[in-house]
Amino acid sequence: MDHRTNWSNEDFDAMSWHDVHVHGLRIVENEDDDGSAELLLDIDYILEWIKGEEGFSFVVAQATLQFHKVFGLKLSIDYATPSAGMCAFSLASIERELVTYPTGHTSFKWSMGINWPSGSIEFEAPGFTQRTCGQPVTQSGQWLASAQRNASGAS
């Protein structure tokens, strides 16, 4: 399989973030003073699911998923109800819906379902980029151990 290192809006339909783990989230205010920000997620992106006789193995690489000109951010992550220990949270999916304003301006409404612990992330943004910042690893787990991750991943 082709293990790409960079993706953008045009690649959305070919990508999946199911069971991708998020280790960090950063909000960087945009300098153009329009009230928007860059939203960066430090993730373990699953490049490939490999079905074997005894289950799956995964090709995983650390990556930065960056949404551009984000506004209207809503976060809901519940670690308290299940008495979950603090750990990376896991995405169920990322979905987007085209939004067209009366001015003709277009953007997307993004929705990220979180499957562990329960929660969601929602916002509007015109697009995203994603880039790997580590070498792909083939393993039985869907996320990288701390020792496998570059500490400066979400920069």
pLDDT tens readout for residues 47-82: 999 998 989 999 999 999 999 999 999 999 998 888
**Domain that includes residue 60, residue range:** 6-137
pTM for this entry: 0.91
Backbone angles phi, psi at 11, to 5 degrees: -95, -5
- Residue 26 covered by a domain: yes
- Residue 49 covered by a domain: yes
From its phi and psi, is residue 38 left (phi > 0), alpha (psi between -120 and 50) or beta?
A: beta
pLDDT tens readout for residues 83-112: 778 889 999 999 999 999 999 999 999 999
Task: Measure the CA–CA gap between 74 and 108, rounded to whole angstroms.
Answer: 15
- Residue 146 covered by a domain: no
User: What pairing do the DSSP bridges indicate for beta strands 37-52 and 55-77?
Assistant: antiparallel
Count structural domains, the chain. Answer: 1
